[in-house]
A and B are shown apart, each in its own frame.
Chain A
Amino acid sequence: MSGWRHPDLGQAVDRSRILRFSFDGAAVEGFAGDTLASALLASGTRILGRSFKYHRPRGLMAMGAAEPNAVFDVTLDGRTIPNQRATLTPLLDGMQVRSVNTAGSAGRDPLGALDLLHHFLPAGFYYKTFMAMGWMRWEPMIRRMAGLGRVNANWHPPADVETMNAAPQVLVIGAGPAGLAAAKAAAESGSRVWLIEETCALGGTLRWRGGQIDGADWTVFRDATLAAIEAAGGRVLTDTTLWGAFDHGLFTAWQRRSDAPDIHWRLRPSRTILAAGAIERPMWFSGNDLPGVMGAEAALHHLVLHGAVAGRRIILATAGDGAYPVAGALCAAGAEVTIADARHVTPDAPEGVHLLRGTRIEAATGHGAVRRAVLDHKALDADTVLMAGGWTPSVQLHCQAGGKLDWDETRDALVPRPGTSAVTTVGAANARYGLSEALAEGHAASGGSGPAPRPTVETGWSYAPLRPDCTLKGRVWIDMQNDVTLKDVAVAAREGYTSVEHLKRFTTLGMATDQGRTSNFAGLSAMAALTGRTIPETGTTTFRPPVQPVPLAVIGGRRRGALFNPPRRLMLEGAHKAAGARFREYGGWLRPAVYGAGDEAALALEEAQVARATAGLYDASPLGKIEILGPRAAELLDFTGYVRMSTLTQGRARYGLMLSETGIVYDDGVVLRLADDHFVLSASSSHVAGVIQKLEDARQDRFGSDGVVIIDRTAYWSTLSLTGPAARSVLNRAGLPDHGLPHMSVAETESDCVPLRIARISFTGDRSYEISVPAQQAAAFEARLVHALEAEGGRRIGLEAVMLLRAEKGYILVGKDTDGVTMPHDLGWTAPRERRTDEFVGKRSLFTAEAGRSDRRQLVGLVAEDDRGALPTGAHVVAPAGMRRSQGFVTSSGPAPGAGGSHALAMIEGGLSRMGEVIRIFHLGDIRHARIAPACLFDPVGGRLDG
């Protein structure tokens, strides 16, 4: 117990509202306005979690996004959000907080014994040891032991995060002094400014350090800034994390809201000013990870805002002026404070503070918490050690936006190189730590007119550079979250991983969820020292989004579940539903699978049998209806198709294939010629967009967009396919003209002033009419057709029945019965390849050595040799004897509604010349025998097409 609550201090907390929560099962109290971090600090709870690898006890170390240790699974109202950073999580009543990386609780973790083995677990230990014995075997155990928070697999967060777009004129990231000055100057010159702040309030360091600007309290300056932004039509977003900078000036921000769902912002500002501040560097001494070792600025932050005092006997180790006010404030709050300053020349000690000049901290000791600090070989009792090791500018977004860094020797930091990114960096993020220079730089970045805002009292920020000392005894931690010590860096250097990118991957330095905020500089400078290079020579790692962990639910937004990839809907969906249709997605469309209740396979077979006996009607609306018009329309189709269409006569239809330039079958479909210069191409339902893309490619590239246009009218028409021996009687009964159409022909007509296009095209092998009607008039028309259909003993049939009907005819579905290597001659369609002398897409590819192989997989039918029902789709075909090498696979299979029994289609090596051969079908260890047969099982002469 060392942290405590000051009786008066804490400007952000409301002491009249006590909030109760639990930490690892123990009851804790805090105030409204607390963060989880401040409430736990004030409660005296020291061990807030365990380290990732060695399960060492860890406590609160920092503030804001930099906190590496205090990461919790937080449950509220039955909803658990894993890996919440305590410093950024506002305390709410009833929260159940659980520490991470613990086998028990943070305070008592049986795996803490792992720490005793640390000599055997250096950097790279896991890679070397567990790879050798098969990583997969060990991975589950290692993940259980490390793994951070626990995800509740049954919890599905609501898809309620709205994605919003905005284009501010000026985007200011960070609302500290520099950000406020930049936003104020820009707004006063009339720009629409968006000011983004990660925490809940504006002001940055001013909130806990206070200060006067232009002769008044800083809050006056803040309020003037707010007023100016509002007057210019801008916005201020607090609790908003700007997490990524992307190509072409896109920024993404996650706005957290307590009273409404979060918002994900996509911002495209004209100008961006980065004022993200800086992270306080820790110091590097033995035991610097003990609970009770904390950043000095964080201690001041928790003290002033929340009245949470870090300890009672405090050693403040530093080499800079900025920490002196911290010592003064803690002393005034009632703590006993000793400053150990590594410098010999220092400012005067604040009143009541003991100052040791030229004194270096070597170690912090204690079991589970700090008990002593060792200063120049002398041990001093202390319950808290504060570290003020200088500053590291937060330059992530500058680097994400493509910016480079320069080493600034005088400010001991890597700073943005001006002009290398579209982001202007100001203030502490640009290593301008003093209040006046931060205000001036922010003001200037926005082209502010008049004098820059000025503080009444300048703050002292100079510090002597500190570096990790590789000669120190004991374990010196540099990355708390991933448990990397200074020795691990030495191991990496010894093994040759001297590039920072290699160092990062070998030791996992900076790869934790805090993204190395407090650790990257230490690793980098230690490697520089070990290899005798300068820091700029050693380089930095790449910064990538996100700057801060962002829930996937925020990025996914509303595009989940039903809105993830919404299927297209049929105009006649209501009619199908009323008829009892069960819908399923086919190629991006929601279509009737079967009608009625019961076993789907049985229903489909029954529907197909009715269609074979009398008539069936199915909704074929998703079939593409791509119109090609113009004097060169025939020429375009000849070039883009495998089969010539220029020889098609008006009023006739022809089946064709479309190939890609690699000779692979891309799509199949029927082309109708309505007029000399007017064709309709029925592309497969799921290939319409792709077919248009290929047609447009030829039209715009080869035809110079001249003499031909392409129009997609798929959605304009609803198409009903009437099939079966009674199809013509149904048509007659419905009072529709048949026009005596022969198979593969088309007529444009009308009935009761409704335009119709009737085509004799069959996907079932029976006499069929494909009737297209304008979608707006489809419902009444369909009702009329169904009435006649049912009077003739026919019925609606779903897609599953259609699949059975087409399969026993050997009619293919491209992409199901073909794959990414199928060429037209593999389907037995050789004539155009052999005879066409003109150019067409894919032609040359049909004559490569590969295309000419005799053992190519070819489409055939399969008839099972046993009576065990349909062969399994996807099963492999293996030779009748010998090695079980796959010679192909079953592509479609099911009962044969017309022929009886079952039937399958398969792609088999050299299959077309192996008719009658009995082969083995191998599936999940089961072996069956089947005979290779023609793909078409039913009515091979095609007599029923005109039946």
Chain B
Amino acid sequence: MQIFPCPFCGPREEHEFLFAAEAGKVRPEPAAKVSDEEWAAYLYHNDAPKGIAREIWYHQTCGTYFLMTRDTVTRDVKDSRFLSEAST
């Protein structure tokens, strides 16, 4: 059972969280100018890196979306911050 640091609530057990998306994706807009390929890439194509991953997670109990950097191999959490504090 992993422990994730919610920037608002502090460390909580992983079952309180939902994975939202890989960080760094930008929603392609406007719809009329977005190709099928671009849209599919936005919706479905992920890097799923082995090692350091930057991900957006949602803390269900407080409603905070945040950017978490973690190692998918060692499960170490490196960093966690509000979206407003994130560079991307």
Contacts and interface: CB of A to CB of B under 8 A. Distances in A.
Contacts of A700: 64-65, 82-84
B75 A248 contact: yes
Contacts of B29: 839
A696 B56 CA distance: 13
Contact of A696 (B30, B36, B63, B74): B63
Interface string B23-48: 00001111100101001000100000
Contacts of B27: 702
A932 to B, nearest CB: 32
Contacts of A867: none
A112 B14 CA distance: 50
A834 interface: no
Contacts of B64: 696, 700
Interface in A642-673: 661-662
A246 B1 contact: yes
A693 B31 contact: no
Which of the listed residues A266, A697, A710 has the most CB atoms from chain B within 10 Å of its own CB?
A: A697
Nearest to A662: B43
B31 A661 contact: no
A692 interface: yes
B83 to A, nearest CB: 5
A696 B39 contact: no
A693 B29 CA distance: 22
Interface in A96-148: none
B75 A696 contact: no
Contacts of A348: none
B2 A248 contact: yes
A247 interface: yes
A250 interface: yes
A839 B84 contact: no
B65 A696 contact: yes
B31 A843 contact: yes
A710 B63 CA distance: 10
A700 B36 CA distance: 26
Contacts of B74: 402
A524 to B, nearest CB: 26
A813 B81 CA distance: 38
Interface string B53-88: 000101010011100000000110000001110000
Interface string A20-57: 00000000000000000000000000000000000000
A943 interface: no
B3 interface: yes
Contacts of A693: 18, 58, 60, 63
B31 A697 contact: no
A705 B84 contact: yes
Contact of B31 (A266, A696, A847): A847
B64 to A, nearest CB: 7
A690 to B, nearest CB: 10
A689 interface: yes
Contacts of B34: 844
B86 to A, nearest CB: 10
A247 B2 contact: yes
Given A246-B1, A697-B20, A845-B39, A692 B31 contact: no
A898 B74 CA distance: 63
Which of the listed residues B2, B28, B74, B82 has the most CB atoms from chain A within 10 Å of its own CB?
A: B2
Contacts of B58: 693, 696-697
B8 to A, nearest CB: 11
Contacts of B65: 696-697, 700-701
Interface string B1-15: 111000000000010
A848 interface: yes
Given A693-B60, A696-B63, A848-B36, A839 B1 contact: no
A870 to B, nearest CB: 39
A697 B65 CA distance: 7
Which of the listed residues A661, A700, A839 has the most CB atoms from chain B within 10 Å of its own CB?
A: A700
A451 interface: no
B60 A248 contact: no
Nearest to A661: B43
Interface string A834-846: 0000010001110
A661 B82 CA distance: 23
Contacts of A710: 63
A704 interface: yes
Interface string A810-827: 000000000000000000
Contacts of B75: 247-248
A248 B36 contact: no
Interface string A881-915: 00000000000000000000000000000000000
A704 B84 contact: yes
Contacts of B2: 247-248
A266 B3 CA distance: 13
A701 B1 contact: no
A448 to B, nearest CB: 30
A248 B56 CA distance: 20
A849 B84 CA distance: 36
Contact of A844 (B1, B31, B83, B84): B31
Contacts of A843: 31
A747 B58 CA distance: 35
Contacts of B82: 700
A248 B74 CA distance: 9
Contacts of A248: 1-3, 75
B30 A839 contact: yes
Interface of B: 1-3, 14, 18, 20, 27-31, 34, 36, 39, 43, 56, 58, 60, 63-65, 74-75, 82-84
Interface of A: 246-248, 250, 266, 402, 661-662, 689, 692-693, 696-697, 700-702, 704-705, 710, 839, 843-845, 847-849
Given A693-B60, A700-B64, A847-B31, 15 more contacts: A246-B1, A266-B1, A402-B74, A662-B43, A692-B63, A693-B58, A693-B63, A697-B65, A701-B65, A710-B63, A839-B30, A843-B31, A848-B36, A848-B39, A849-B36
27 contacts: A247-B1, A247-B2, A248-B1, A248-B3, A248-B75, A250-B1, A266-B1, A661-B43, A689-B60, A692-B63, A693-B18, A693-B60, A696-B63, A696-B64, A697-B20, A701-B56, A701-B65, A704-B83, A705-B84, A710-B63, A839-B30, A844-B28, A844-B31, A845-B39, A847-B31, A848-B36, A848-B39
* A-B pairs with lowest CB-CB distance, top 7: A844-B31, A843-B31, A247-B2, A700-B65, A250-B1, A248-B2, A844-B39
